[in-house]
Chain A
Amino acid sequence: MIDRKTTPAYGIIDKIQFPLPEQEILGNGLPMHTIQGGVHDIVRLDYSFPAGSRYASLPLTALAVNQLLQEGTKKYHARELAEKLDYYGAVFKPWITSDTAGFTVFSLSKHLIPVTGLVHSMITEPVFPEEELLVFLQKRKQQFLVEMERVSYRARNRFTEVLFGENHPYGRTLREDDFHRINREVLRDFWKKTYASSRSWVLVSGKPGPSRLNEMKKRLASLPLHTEEDTLPSFPDITSCPGKRHVVPMPRHMQSALRIGRLTFTRDHPDFPAMLVLNTILGGYFGSRLMRNIREEKGYTYGIVSFLSPLHNAGYLTIVSEVGAENTANTIKEIYREMETMQRKPVGDEELDLVRNYMMGDLLRELDGPFATAETYRSIVDAGMDMSHVQHIMETIKNITPGEIGKLAQKYLSPENMKEVIAGRMGE
């Protein structure tokens, strides 16, 4: 008979081996990072530009530029670009955050050079054709109006407005009339300032092979870049909306979306690594206190999570859930109860050890292979940091004490400092 009652012996992760990116500043000033490795002959390219939504004076501009680069250039019609990318089996995924924007491209190594040619045409000579712009605006407006019927979307938007203020570049959200204020001139202007900036950078990961990597380097080095730091607007002061609870009434809905949280800090803040641990305990994994209490004990929700959002000039902590309308008030009460418990009672050794191991395992997954590493690396480099940040996080995970976590909870988890957004209804 085998012993099924006792946990099998296990090892803890002490060190993580991951491919260290190589860095080079090309002749035109563009930083190029490479992470070589993998089994298959495929390549992932990440292009990042200081082209996030905060830098545009009109909402929607940054998104429109990011999406419309692929809709026609001086050399290629939109149809041609799509045809060629699809023919090569390339995947072109534009992405955008508040601070940066860019795209991730997957390509077979054998098609890397022609694919790069298409991508560089999009970066350097987009035309933003009138017709494609109109279709984009119509599509996006419809998507927006559908989103407005979702409790989760409404809560997310209201929450950033409440934290940063409705007119702040980090806080403002899309409105229907924004769709009528965009035109080609606005797009061209924003593109010029941001997609040829010397603050751009590129990451090549996978198995391009030495000769293609060299050719890539040549092509990247010939991208025309300019230094116009002063054309990017500075960061205005944050003025949160007054009041604690903000309700977006959606009376017909059977569930409410909740967002509870507060402003915190950027990724390079000294409390950031420890706060990652605190957040994991509170709501950062399936075994978190919020999940165990509100889903697994009470059955109020399908899921509840908390996470940190580090931005370039600020950051925030959010707790998110969708709950049956009748349980909204009780859920909020339980969330605060969990915060108070973290402030009052030190985390037990058993729970902390579990979280340490879980988080190290998570890092192991995030750094498994060149593509997963590229994903992790991108957000770190975007924040102006390097892989020593990951080392620092690992040291914190290994060494943090219950006392330090308690102090952090007292500093950042006071219910009276939290903002609340409820989209839906309170029930009864």
Chain B
Amino acid sequence: MPASVNDMIRFEKITLGNGLRVLVHHDPASPLAAVNVLYDVGSRDEDPGRTGFAHLFEHLMFGGSVNIPSYDTPLQKVGGENNAFTNTDITNYYLTLPSNNLDTGLWLESDRMLELNFTEKNLQVQRHVVIEEFKQRYLNQPYGDAILLLRPLAYKVHPYRWPTIGREISHIQEAGLEEVKEFFYSHYAPNNAILVLAGNVPPDRGFERAAHWFGDIERRNIRPRSLPAEPPQESHRQLTVHRPIPFDALYLAFHMPERLHKDYHACDLISDILSNGKSSRLYRSLVMEQKLFSDINAYITGERDPGLFMITGKLTEGVPVEKGEKAIHDELKKIREETIPAHELAKVKNQVEANWLYGETDILNRAMNLALFEWLGDAEMINSETEKYREVTAEQIKRIARDLFRMENLSTLYYLRQKEPLNHETST
């Protein structure tokens, strides 16, 4: 249970005749309404020869729909703001606006669920935009392509082996209009989406307006999902690359259980024990005391299918990468072999609980979380999430750490400095 009844997120839910799930969370204290539309499609649903498509498609969703030439203009005109993101599992669109203008948001979102109106010109421009995004975030940044290298090292079969931005620019370059249409009709449909309204929207009004705008959109045949399971890794994988960067870096990726697995929360807590806050183990030991790393981080990808437990660090100048690597493994050994002290376990649980509350002050955040939990199976899980962290025991942590942190479950990337002058060394 949440800390108090006050902390419960109350909501009501209906399913429209066309399969669209609608959730309303009423918060009369806010003058705003948030509208969140989650589509159950991500980069894991892509064809291996057309990676980056789900994300490119998200860009096209702003190019106008069948009855509305521009998505953004009418929304801005009523004081609204919007954005979207795509990840390996889902594509999520969200907006906030003054609550009395809720209809405008629903009108826009329902029309682009009904039918897009993309043109060759629109596709051409967004291909360019996405390619510039690819460069800006991954190729033109120091260490930017590490994640592009790590995924295919850790996954050999499952579509998580390519990143959401795409495996290579050429896949985006070659995307054609027919494929785009095909993708829309096989993934965008009321029966493949979740609509959440939050803020100053009483449930009755929310349901009535949602039914008005979305009720007549027809169901579509969703392309059935049959993803190949990643077979258990059998031996340690290692890759070394050289790049024009100032300091060596190290990336470790262990396979971990899927989002709905009973051990998921314990894995997340292990990542917190290792690197949440300045008192965390990796920071304390490897940065402050041994001074082997200038920066170190542990996190989980948190994906629906079995994901990755990641540890990434930049080595202190002059420290050999093998020495840093060994120090990380020594810390992991401690988690595997020693029972975590009660005080330390309580600490990471407190952090999770407090951070959860801090995040809940924002109605958009609440709307997104509700959509996410509904997509995972049941929005009601939002109210038992912190409890799941509370229930994790020290024994469970040790058992799971033993299972996770095995060499044959690990992919290691050495991302090393290439011996050529850097920019700041050549420029005058």
A contact set with B: CB distance below 8 Å:
1-2, 4-5, 7-13, 16-17, 38-42, 70, 78-79, 82-83, 85-91, 106-108, 132, 135, 138-139, 142-143, 145-146, 148-151, 154, 248-250, 252-255, 285-287, 295-302, 322-324, 353-355, 357-358, 360-362, 364-365, 368-369, 371-372
Does the CB pair A142–B355 fall under 8 Å? no
Does the CB pair A2–B278 fall under 8 Å? no
Does the CB pair B347–A83 fall under 8 Å? yes
Does the CB pair A9–B103 fall under 8 Å? yes
Q: Which residues of A contact B74 (CB under 8 A)?
A: 7
Q: List 25 A-B contacts (CB under 8 A).
A: A4-B107, A10-B78, A16-B31, A39-B27, A41-B6, A79-B279, A82-B277, A83-B279, A86-B277, A135-B287, A142-B247, A142-B316, A142-B317, A149-B245, A150-B142, A252-B244, A298-B125, A300-B128, A302-B130, A357-B76, A357-B79, A358-B79, A360-B79, A361-B79, A368-B31
Q: Which residues of A contact B141 (CB under 8 A)?
A: 150
Question: Which single residue of chain B is at the shortest CB-CB distance from A16?
Answer: B31
Q: Which residues of A contact B30 (CB under 8 A)?
A: 368-369
Q: Which residues of A contact B284 (CB under 8 A)?
A: 79, 82
Interchain nearest-CB distance for A73 vs B (Å): 14
Contacts A87-B347, A287-B76, A299-B132 given; indicate if A11 touches B423 (C-beta within 8 A). Answer: no
Residues 266-320 (chain B) with a chain A CB within 8 angstroms: 276-280, 284, 287-288, 291, 294-295, 314, 316-317
Bound CA span A4–B65, Å:
11
Which 7 residue pairs across A and B have the least CB separation, nearest first? A361-B79, A89-B354, A299-B128, A82-B278, A82-B279, A8-B103, A302-B133
B contact set with A: CB distance below 8 Å:
4, 6-7, 27, 29-32, 66-68, 72-74, 76-81, 96-98, 100-101, 103-104, 107, 110-111, 114, 124-130, 132-133, 135-137, 139-143, 212-213, 216, 244-247, 276-280, 284, 287-288, 291, 294-295, 314, 316-317, 343, 346-347, 350-351, 353-355, 357-358, 360-363, 422-424, 427
Q: Which residues of A contact B125 (CB under 8 A)?
A: 296-299
Interchain nearest-CB distance for B310 vs A (Å): 19
Q: Which residues of B contact A361 (CB under 8 A)?
A: 76, 78-81, 97-98
Select A139's contact among B110, B278, B295, B350, beta carbons within 8 Å.
Answer: B295
Bound CA span A13–B98, Å:
8
Does the CB pair A42–B358 fall under 8 Å? yes
Contacts A40-B360, A90-B354 given; indicate if A146 touches B246 (C-beta within 8 A). Answer: yes
Bound CA span A361–B34, Å:
13
Bound CA span A134–B96, Å:
46
Interchain nearest-CB distance for A118 vs B (Å): 12
Most buried by A among B7, B68, B114, B142: B142
Q: Which residues of A contact B79 (CB under 8 A)?
A: 12-13, 357-358, 360-362, 364
Does the CB pair B135–A255 fall under 8 Å? yes
Bound CA span A135–B317, Å:
12
Does the CB pair B136–A255 fall under 8 Å? yes
Does the CB pair A8–B358 fall under 8 Å? no
Interchain nearest-CB distance for B323 vs A (Å): 16
Q: Which residues of B contact A372 (CB under 8 A)?
A: 362
Contacts A2-B212, A287-B73, A298-B125 given; indicate if A255 touches B423 (C-beta within 8 A). Answer: no
Bound CA span A300–B104, Å:
30
Q: Which residues of B contact A322 (CB under 8 A)?
A: 132, 136, 140
Does the CB pair A254–B139 fall under 8 Å? yes
Does the CB pair B287–A10 fall under 8 Å? no
Bound CA span A322–B351, Å:
37
Interchain nearest-CB distance for B428 vs A (Å): 8
Interchain nearest-CB distance for A5 vs B (Å): 5
Question: Which single residue of chain B is at the shortest CB-CB distance from A39?
Answer: B6
Does the CB pair A354–B76 fall under 8 Å? yes
Bound CA span A302–B141, Å:
14
Q: Which residues of B contact A148 (CB under 8 A)?
A: 246, 422-424
Most buried by A among B111, B124, B135, B216: B135
Q: Which residues of A contact B347 (CB under 8 A)?
A: 83, 86-87
Contacts A4-B111, A5-B67, A11-B98 given; indicate if A88 touches B140 (C-beta within 8 A). Answer: no
